[in-house]
Amino acid sequence: MVITRQGILATSQTLASQAGAQILARGGSAADAAIAANATLGVVEPMMNGMGGDLFAIEWDAKMGRLTGLNSSGWAPEGLTISLIREKGFGRMPELGIHSVTVPGCVRGWQALHERFGRLPWAELFQPAIDYATHGFPVTEWISTGWRLNKKKLEGNANARRVYLINGRTPAVGQIFRNPEYARALGLVASRGPDAFYRGAIAKAILRTSQRLGGVMTAQDLADFKPEWVKPISTTYRGWRVFELPPNGQGMAALEMLNIMAPFPLGKWGFDDPRSWHVKMEAQKLSYADLGRYRGDPRFAKIPVEAIVSKAYGAERAKTIDMNHAHCHVTPGDPARFGSDTTYLTAVDRQGNIVSMIQSLYAAFGSGVVVDHYGIPLQDRGAGFELNPAHPDALEPHKRPFHTIIPGFMEKGGIHIGFGIMGGLNQSQAHAQFVSNIADYGMNIQQALEAPRFTNYSFGGCHFLIEDREPAAIRAYLIERGNQLEVHSGFSQVVGGGQAVIHDSATGVNYGASDPRKDGAALPEPAPYFKTGPQWPSRPNGATRRQRLR
């Protein structure tokens, strides 16, 4: 872990972590640093996030002892309807192209965080990102690979080809990449504020791009969007209180999964006991069956969140687990009876305030549509909607789609942890595994991130992706009970990469961790030793600096 009395930034790209750490050193808050790091990530990891995507955050106010949630996910354009999608010949929501685009919420999310928790001037937060976009940066290993795997998508859009390919190729490791168009957009947001994106020049460019491609987004769709401050939902697990954000995200599945795991003595069994892995996988199936059935925007549909995250409901679902057999066809439960390609980053400042933030374009490079003249990839979050009008996640105008991106937070006594793990539907199950690593097995946050994980990228079934670093006996046990395992070597991105920070309010010490499955790092804020330490003495008798050094 990184351990310091100063602040810490943990992101998936080291230059972004450094940008946030420098903001902390200039007197910025955790929120200021998170915004600066996120803006920089949009430049240095452009396939994962940026101004064309959405944002969620949890903020811990150390002085007030208060936790606040922010949902800045955009809504569907007024003209984007089920009938329109069907008229276009789609049998399900498209994952590519202009009809998968919803209003980007990211910039309004930055604004909301800055207005409530920021300290530094708004324009200052974007200078690192503008500098890297203007002058370039060397592309890192994981990011270069992700870029290369999406070359075909980039070739399908003229703007994407021009901006994100170099002589028709994706950038190699160490190759300098510049994005002057994106720098221009960042400069407008920095100098003219968020309205530049939602009402000004960038908004007009988004609308021209959409109209040219047959989209239905209007100026009103952009101008009317506002993020929502929300109360985090929570459960307890082994003495820890674990927090997630309410729907339209998937955080409730992480809490339900923990409640299902709670009756089993995982800590006594140990991390390498195959029974622990079996219980967690069965808990994943049960919680995701409910997630698939009950996900949606609570402004439009009744989502039984309180019941789904209740201890009683989790205990009932846990009783269905058979220790000798894997259930491959799990059905949703009835919680009504218990009514009681993403980037994650986290920041802690020296006062102990924490921002747990996640921001995404959804698929790599989002919809594949890049905004005219400004190089902004637009998200494809519309793909999260259902075309069945009876489903709570059915497409409707100005409705927010189901989101996979979730920030996490947990605390016990004076220990406060901001954490998150990326990767689509991987995220809730990865959160539950991370919490269990700490609460059941006593791992520190670096160990908890590095430990082998499993994932299932669907709402059911027995097909799991799993890393090969756990004992082979575990895999044999799981297969024997009916699971199908796809084994990946080493530290695999299929199970997502994460970041975490801790503030210990008793000692004032901060801790940071970064997942080796990403290109990032947890970097400490520089201590102010050059402000308070010894300075060069004045020159005696006109002596030069070289003479003094002799």
Largest Cα–Cα distance of the chain, in whole Å? 87
Range of the domain at 219: 10-229+365-384
Sign of CA dihedral 42, 46, 48, 50: positive
CB 455 within 8 A of CB 423: yes
Q: How many domains does the chain have?
A: 2
Q: What is the pLDDT of residue 341?
A: 64
* Gap between the Cα atoms of 74 and 105, Å rounded: 5
Query: Is 16 domain-assigned?
Result: yes
pLDDT in tens, 284-312: 999 999 999 999 999 998 999 999 999 99
In this structure, the strands spanning 484-488 and 463-467 are parallel
Q: Are residues 34 and 150 in the same domain?
A: yes
Q: What is the pLDDT of residue 340?
A: 41
% residues pLDDT > 90 (the chain): 91
* Gap between the Cα atoms of 297 and 401, Å rounded: 7
Query: Is 304 domain-assigned?
Result: yes
| Of residues 282, 231, 251, the one with CA closest to residue 404 | 251
Query: Is 18 domain-assigned?
Result: yes
pLDDT in tens, 238-264: 999 999 999 999 999 999 999 999 999
Q: What is the pLDDT of residue 307?
A: 93
- CA trace torsion 436, 437, 443, 447 (10° rounding): -150
Catalytic residues: 342
pLDDT at 191 over 70: yes
Query: Is 244 domain-assigned?
Result: yes
* Gap between the Cα atoms of 125 and 135, Å rounded: 17
Confidence of residue 342 (pLDDT cuts 50, 70, 90): confident
% residues pLDDT > 70 (the chain): 95
* Gap between the Cα atoms of 267 and 280, Å rounded: 13
CB neighbours of 361 closer than 8 A, spacing ≥ 6?
A: 47, 48, 49, 50, 52, 53, 341, 377, 378, 379, 380
Q: What is the pLDDT of residue 532?
A: 56
Q: What is the pLDDT of residue 337?
A: 54
In this structure, the strands spanning 233-237 and 240-244 are antiparallel
Is 0.75 surpassed by the pTM of this model?
yes
Query: Is 359 domain-assigned?
Result: no
pLDDT at 549 over 80: no
pLDDT at 536 over 70: no
Confidence of residue 195 (pLDDT cuts 50, 70, 90): very high
Token pair, residue 345, equals 């980053």
pLDDT at 92 over 90: yes
Q: Are residues 330 and 470 in the same domain?
A: yes
CB neighbours of 94 closer than 8 A, spacing ≥ 6?
A: 85, 100, 380, 382, 383
Residue of 529 and 144 predicted with greater confidence: 144
Q: Are residues 65 and 17 in the same domain?
A: yes
Q: What is the pLDDT of residue 535?
A: 47
pLDDT, mean over the chain: 94
CB 86 within 8 A of CB 394: no
Q: Are residues 471 and 427 in the same domain?
A: yes
Confidence of residue 539 (pLDDT cuts 50, 70, 90): very low
Q: What is the pLDDT of residue 529?
A: 82
Sign of CA dihedral 420, 422, 428, 429: negative
Query: Is 550 domain-assigned?
Result: no
Name the domain boundary from 384, 415, 449: 384
Q: What is the pLDDT of residue 338?
A: 54
Q: Are residues 257 and 201 in the same domain?
A: no
Q: Are residues 183 and 262 in the same domain?
A: no
Q: Are residues 31 and 142 in the same domain?
A: yes
Q: What is the pLDDT of residue 547?
A: 40
pLDDT at 320 over 90: yes
User: What is residue 436's three-state secondary structure?
Assistant: helix
pLDDT in tens, 111-160: 999 999 999 999 999 999 999 999 999 999 999 999 999 999 999 999 99
Q: What is the pLDDT of residue 331?
A: 86
CB 113 within 8 A of CB 393: no
Q: What is the pLDDT of residue 530?
A: 78
Query: Is 394 domain-assigned?
Result: no
* Sequence-separated contacts (24+) of 469-477 with Cβ below 8 Å: 470/272, 470/277, 471/272, 473/274, 474/272, 474/274, 474/277, 476/274, 477/274, 477/275, 477/277, 477/278
pLDDT at 522 over 70: yes
Q: Are residues 225 and 290 in the same domain?
A: no
CATH number of the domain that 462 lies in?
3.60.20.40
Between 98-107, 195-204, 301-310, the lowest mean confidence (pLDDT) is in: 301-310
Backbone conformation region of residue 182, classed left if phi is above 0, alpha if psi is from -120 to 50, else beta: alpha
C-alpha triplet 173, 178, 182: angle, nearest 5°:
130
Token pair, residue 170, equals 């994706």
* Gap between the Cα atoms of 527 and 478, Å rounded: 49
* Gap between the Cα atoms of 36 and 59, Å rounded: 16
Q: Are residues 51 and 181 in the same domain?
A: yes
The residues that bridge with 66 in the sheet, in sequence order, are 61
pLDDT at 521 over 90: yes
Q: Are residues 450 and 338 in the same domain?
A: yes
In this structure, the strands spanning 408-412 and 415-421 are antiparallel
Q: Are residues 416 and 370 in the same domain?
A: no
CB atoms closer than 10 angstroms to residue 80: 26
Q: Are residues 175 and 45 in the same domain?
A: yes
pLDDT in tens, 363-421: 999 999 999 999 999 999 999 999 999 999 999 999 999 999 999 999 999 999 999 99
Q: What is the pLDDT of residue 550?
A: 40
- Burial class (CB within 10 angstroms; exposed 0-12, middle 13-18, buried 19+) of 96: middle
* Gap between the Cα atoms of 437 and 241, Å rounded: 15
Query: Is 396 domain-assigned?
Result: no
